[in-house]
Structure 1
Amino acid sequence: MPTTTGPSRRTVLCGLAVALGAPAALAACSSGGAPAAAPASPEPTAAGGTPVARIPVGGGTVTTVGDRTILLVQPTAGQFKGFDASCPHQGTTVDPPENGVITCPNHFSQFDAATGAVRKGPAETGLTEVPVSVANGTVQVS
């Protein structure tokens, strides 16, 4: 028996989310099936620094230090680096690395997690390295 089909419920709801600018609803509209995680807000760093346990090997965390947003990464066990978390293309805060790649959620520029070097544009330059040190089980931004 033939049925008449119109836009799916998902299509209608996603259209409304776009019209209303509802970012949480838009996450469910991704084509990947499961809703995408909302971008993490930077966590303020305590005066004592960021505990190394909060920076996974091969990953990182976005934090604020004073008025700066910093991406702390641990490319290999025991090696910690810091980068200005602002994408050099338009200043959007980048996401922590996945599989060795830092991605900007705005235009999908990609950067090497170990060096900050640009891998794929539209960014034309890499992330700016920020000096960090490890003391008493915490990563300190210099």
Structure 2
Amino acid sequence: MTETTRRTVVFGAGTAGLAAVLTACASYGVPETEADVEAPAEEATSSQPEEGGEAKPKAEAKADAALADVSDIPEGGGKVFKNQKIVVTQPAAGEFKAFSAVCTHAGCTVASVSNQTINCPCHGSKFSIADGSVTDGPAGGPLEEKQIQVDGQKIRLA
């Protein structure tokens, strides 16, 4: 009869445990990263035909849509458009600016414009309505400026 030593039992248990750990950590397939995932293609459908009879792609028609009327943006203040993640301000009479509504600190959407600042509710960052620069932290960088057009009484993204 063969004698089982303590060393044999410990070694056998250790090997079985290692096999179980390696099996549990096995990966099935390759994990996808954001870079590996292809972005969905833009729809090639059209909106209403233009005056000349050609239909505009939806993306182009959306760009033509006005963000606001100039009367919607108070002088010395502004308005946040959460759906578009844009904030439009009027630092001085007739001067309109637009910035990303995404705070540079933690990625929250800014919530309001008051007292000459664009205000983030998450951690209290404040940005200038004139140039998007940080007036009160913790944000370390300015809001990204967006290009707009003022066409008569309408404000549009450029």
TM-score norm. by structure 2 comes to: 0.56
User: What is aligned with 1:76?
Assistant: 92
Alignment of 1:138 onto 2:154:
yes
User: Which has more helix, going by share of residues?
Assistant: 2
TM-score, normalised to structure 1's length?
A: 0.62
C-alpha distance in 1 between matches for 2:128 and 2:66: 28
Q: Answer whether contact 1:110 1:121 (CA < 8 A) is retained.
A: yes
2: CA distance between counterparts of 1:101 and 1:48? 23
Q: Does the 8 Å contact 2:117/2:128 carry over to 1? A: yes
Q: Which runs of 4+ in 1 moved over 2 A?
A: none
| Aligned equivalent of 2:119 | 103
Q: Does 1:87 align with 2:85?
A: no
Alpha-carbon deviation of 1:69? Answer: 0.8
Give distance in 1, aligned partners of 2:117 and 2:66. Answer: 28
Provide the secondary structure at the position in 1 that maps to 2:71.
Answer: helix
**Residues 1-142 of structure 1 aligned to structure 2 (within 5 Å):** 47-63=65-81, 68-142=84-158
Shift of 1:96: 3.1
Aligned-residue sequence identity (percent) comes to 40
Displacement of 1:64 in angstroms is 5.3
Equivalent residue letter for 2:73: I
Alpha-carbon distance in 2 for matches of 1:102, 1:48:
21
CA distance in 2, matches of 1:125, 1:103: 14
What RMSD, in angstroms, separates the aligned Cα atoms of the two structures? Answer: 2.1
Letter in 1 for 2:118: I
Give the match's secondary structure for 2:85.
Answer: strand
Kindly indicate whether the alpha-carbon contact (under 8 Å) linking 2:110 and 2:121 is maintained by their aligned counterparts in 1.
yes
Unpaired runs of 5+ residues, structure 1, are 1-44
Aligned length: 97
What is the CA–CA distance in structure 1 between the aligned matches of 2:129 and 2:66, rounded to whole Å? Answer: 24
The residue type paired with residue 141 of structure 1 is L
